[in-house]
Amino acid sequence: MNDQHEDEKVVGADRVLAVLIDLAGHPQGATLDELAQRLHSSKPTVHRALSALRRAHLADQVSRGVYILGDEFIRLAFRHHSARPDATRIEPALRTLAQQYGETAHYAVLVGTEVVYRAKVDPPIGSVRLTSEVGGRNPAHRTAVGKMLLSHELHSEAELAKWLNGQPLEARTPNSIITIPALWAELEATRDRGYAIDDQENEIGINCVAVLADLGGPQIGAVSLSALAFRLPLEKLIVEVPTIQSIIAASRGLPAA
């Protein structure tokens, strides 16, 4: 009986989280019917989850029965993000990179088999902007930041295979690396040269270079500069790596590597 009760509690908690996540994807709000349909749940079940979120001020009901994320959730999210020392410390460097090159600069960390973007600065108005967002994720093997971080974390092809744990290396473009030997060879090359590249592996028309950014926190991150291939080809991006490293070092008050 106790085990069954615990299972029901877990399902209930998962349902509350599912409603919270769905609301986050609909900033204009959602009705009870819409939520129930998208989550494949009954309206009473979704209503109980909404009631729990409203009691915690994490969701609000506005006119005509539309639900939105609560201001308390927004406050907590922004307070947490602004208190993260890595994002705060690296943003001046990202801003300098975006302004100097007219391209998008990212800071990301490795979480499982993905990278999570902790900070992003877009180029000045008038330039093309990427669809990436803070908190967004991408498979590590298809990104320059991911390969930079993997080259730091993994020390053998066997470790790489263990890290993947049987997951396939899925391709997104014809340039994506899809085998363990090929990815390991790229990680070794990355470690040797001190920077990683994304040669239109995650998105056609976008290339990228990345370097490590150790900010002294619990995680080592990486900074990337992503550019439109026709405007700033990969070979020209690679030439800029020493300057990118210098900008990151200067933002931390350190001598360039």
Total-model pTM: 0.69
> What's the CA gap between 166 and 246, in Å, rounded?
38
Q: What is the pLDDT of residue 231?
A: 87
Q: What is the pLDDT of residue 243?
A: 95
Q: What does 77-123 look like in DSSP terms, one character per residue? A: HHHHHHH-HHHHHHHHHHHHHHHHHSSEEEEEEEETTEEEEEEEEPP
Q: What is the H or E stretch that residue 209 is in?
A: strand 206-213
Q: What percent of the chain has pLDDT over 90?
A: 45
Least confident interval from 22-36, 57-71, 127-141, 196-210: 127-141
Q: What letter represents residue 147's amino acid? A: K
Q: Please name each of the domains of the chain with its CATH number.
A: 2-76 (1.10.10.10), 84-251 (3.30.450.40)
| Mean pLDDT of the 214-225 span | 84
Q: Are strands 206-213 and 59-62 parallel, antiparallel or unpaired?
A: unpaired
Q: What is the pLDDT of residue 241?
A: 96
Q: Please, what is the average pLDDT of the chain? A: 85
Of the two residues 1 and 16, the one the predictor is more confident about is 16
Q: DSSP label at 143?
A: S
Q: Which residues of 195-228 are buried (b: 16+ CB within 10 A; e: fewer)?
A: bbbbbbbbbeebbbbbbbbebeeeebbbbbbbbb
| Mean pLDDT of the 55-72 span | 84
The answer to whether residues 209 and 224 touch, using CB atoms and an 8 Å cutoff, is: yes
